[in-house]
Each structure stands twice: as structure tokens, then as C-alpha cells.
Amino acid sequence: MAEIRLENVSKSFGSAKIIEHLNLTIQDGSFTVLLGPSGCGKTTLLRMIAGIGPATSGKIYMDGEDISDVPPGKRNVAMVFQNYAIYPTMSVRENIEFCLKNNKVPKKERTERVERVAETVGLKEYLGRRPSELSGGQRQRVALARAMVKEPAVFLMDEPLSNLDAKLRLAMRSELIQLHEQLKTTFIYVTHDQMESMAMADQIVLMDQGTIMQQAAPEVIYHDPDNIFTAQFIGMPPANILELPGQAGSIGFRPERVKLNAGREKTGFRRRGKILTRELLGAEVQYKIQIPEGVVMVRSQELSFRAGDMAEIFSDREDLYFFDCQGKRIRK
């Protein structure tokens, strides 16, 4: 197990400054997800922790020890990539065993470790097969097993599920959560999928343009965003953000925290509007509603409204967020 700490880390590619003066602590044993839009620097950050894309400046510590100049092979981390990076000409067993052989681990121990890991990820019956004889999900398991067999202090995963179809992705997602529970090792996982981050992480590091917008547990990121970026990146559909005439800054509320034609007893944000569209989601409906300040999205279990109807939206005072002109949350 290990805590990772980045101190004043910057990374440039030529004149392009991708990450500037970033400070981040990743707790020992956490399942930390680096989340953010494409190009925000997640992979760059992960590669710096792995040691395969060194920082331009700053320090990286593992359990208090400066590892900034330690080569990747000596960092006690293992990386799982999106494209699996498994050897097509080797069997599953040989793939998993590869790094142990390189490190001159004795045969008996090698066999034991390979079989134990294969058992954990459900590959025991497939050890003799070649990668081409496996499904996508099984190949992903081989990649995972190759990382696990090293018994690293930190697992680094770069969108490891993105090549899988939706159903398998969900299955592997819960397997990874289970694996983390079992190993209790630090997992650092990169994704741009906010749903995936919510489901898996115990800590989310939300990034934009090389900076950290918020680092917190998923519940906090969802219920208590620090800024407009976070409120809009998380949630499906994103939080409604409205500028009110005569006010500096804006207000926000989540589509699922809106009541339609509610009673008048509470205080909050209340507007009459026209329903523009209605999309049935199953047990809920998503409405797009035109109010004087703009268009808002609403998710409701009230199914009876139709496009063209008038309705009153209401969001409780407690569910409203206030932001200043820079998009930073004003906490009242």
C-alpha cells in the first residue's frame, strides 16, 4: 500500500504547458479516479506517477520517499492500459508470468503466483490459450492479471474498460470495485466518464486544463460542487446554471432536484415555464422547460406533462447553488 504525493508538479511538451504547479495527495489504499474532459492532462499525470513521462519540474513522493528520479521499473507501481498491451504470441500463462521471469523469480513461486492471480480474475481455465482465442473482457483480465502478479503498491489504470462493450464494461466495473476491496491497494484510475467515476471511486480528482477543479468523495462532488465546472461535469443531465438579471454571478440546481407544480409552502427558486420536450427514461421523465431566464432540464417521476404544457418548476432553497462571476461557489 502507498500514499502518492505530487508537489508543485509541472509538465510541458515543448512550449505547451499541460500541467502547472499541481499539488495532489492520493490516499493510501484509496480508489482514486482522475476524471476530466479529453485533453485535460489525466494520462499525463498518470504517466508521471508511473515514471514513463517524467515531470518537467516538481517532486513525486511515494510514502514520503522522493521517487521523482526513480525509473519506472523500480517504482513499485503497475500500469493497466486501454489497449491491454498483452503479447499476442504468448499464452495467457506466459503473459502473466513474463515480468516474474524477467525478475528471476524461481519457477515454483512463479507458478503459484500466476495461478493464484488467474484464479482471482477468473482465468484459470484459460491459461493455455493465446490472446486471439479470448474475448475482449478476458483479454482485459489478462492485462489486469499481469499487473496484479507484480503485487505492486499502486495500480495505475488508464481507461482500462473503454474498449469493452457497454454490458461487459458494467460487469468489469463491479469486478474492479470488488478487486480493490480484496487487495486494499491504492488504485489510480483515469476516465473521462463521470458515471464510471461515480460508481467506482472513493475519491474523485476532477481536472480541467491541467488544474484540479475539485478533489473529494463522489457524494461531495455531486452534492457540494466547488464551482460551475464541477456542477456541470457531474450529473446526467448536468446541473442547470442560470444568470439572474441584476445579480452578479449565477445560480444552479440539479435537474433531479426540481419539483413540478409543487405546493407554495417552501422558499426556493420558482418559475413558470413551457415544456419544450419530454423524454421518457423508464421510471422518470426528462423535461426541457423554457423559463424566462433560459432553458432548464428537469428529471421527474411526474410523467403526465406533455410538450406544450405549462408547468411551474420549484427547487428548494437548500438545493440551490450560488456562484460568483468566476464560477466559484459562494457558500452561505
Report the distance separating Cα 322 and Cα 250, nearest Å: 6
Among 10, 17, 18, 81, binds ligand ATP (CB under 6 A): 18
By CB under 6 A, is residue 195 in contact with ligand ATP? no
CB atoms within 10 A of CB 37: 14
- The yes or no reply on residue 5 touching ligand ATP (CB under 6 A) is no
When asked if residue 42 is in the footprint of ligand ATP (CB under 6 A), the reply is yes
End-to-end Cα spacing for the chain? 39
Residue 15 interacts with ligand ATP (CB under 6 A): yes or no = no
Q: How many residues does the chain have?
A: 332
Q: Can you tell me which of 39, 71, 88, 122 binds ligand ATP, judged by CB under 6 A?
A: 39
Minimum CB separation of residue 298 from ligand ATP in Å reads 30
Strand partners of residue 187: 31, 155
Q: How far is the CB of 210 from ligand ATP (least distance, A)?
A: 7
Q: Choose which of 35, 40, 148, 161 interacts with ligand ATP (CB under 6 A).
A: 40
> Are the CB atoms for 185 and 3 separated by under 8 Å?
no
**Alpha-carbon gap, residue 332 to 323, rounded angstroms:** 11
Nearer to ligand ATP, 39 or 73 (CB): 39
Is 192 among the residues that bind ligand ATP (CB under 6 A)?
yes
Candidate list 2, 22, 35, 43; residue touching ligand ATP; CB under 6 A: 43
Identify the residue among 22, 31, 32, 41 touching ligand ATP (CB under 6 A).
41
Residue with cell 509541472: 10
Contact with ligand ATP (CB under 6 A): which of 36, 51, 218, 273?
36
212 part of the interface to ligand ATP, by CB under 6 A: no
Residue closer to ligand ATP by CB (options 36, 160) is 36
CB of 17 to ligand ATP, least distance (A): 10
Least gap, CB of 11 to ligand ATP (angstroms): 8
* 44 makes contact with ligand ATP (CB under 6 A): yes
CB-wise, 53 or 237, nearer to ligand ATP? 53
Return the number of the residue (41 or 218) whose C-beta is nearest ligand ATP: 41
- Reading the block at residue 237, the C-alpha cell is 443531465
Under the binding rule (CB under 6 A), the answer on residue 38 touching ligand ATP is yes
204 binds ligand ATP (CB under 6 A): no
How many residues sit close enough to ligand ATP to count as binding (CB under 6 A)? 12
Would you tell me which residues interact with ligand ATP (CB under 6 A)?
Answer: 13, 16, 18, 36, 38-44, 192
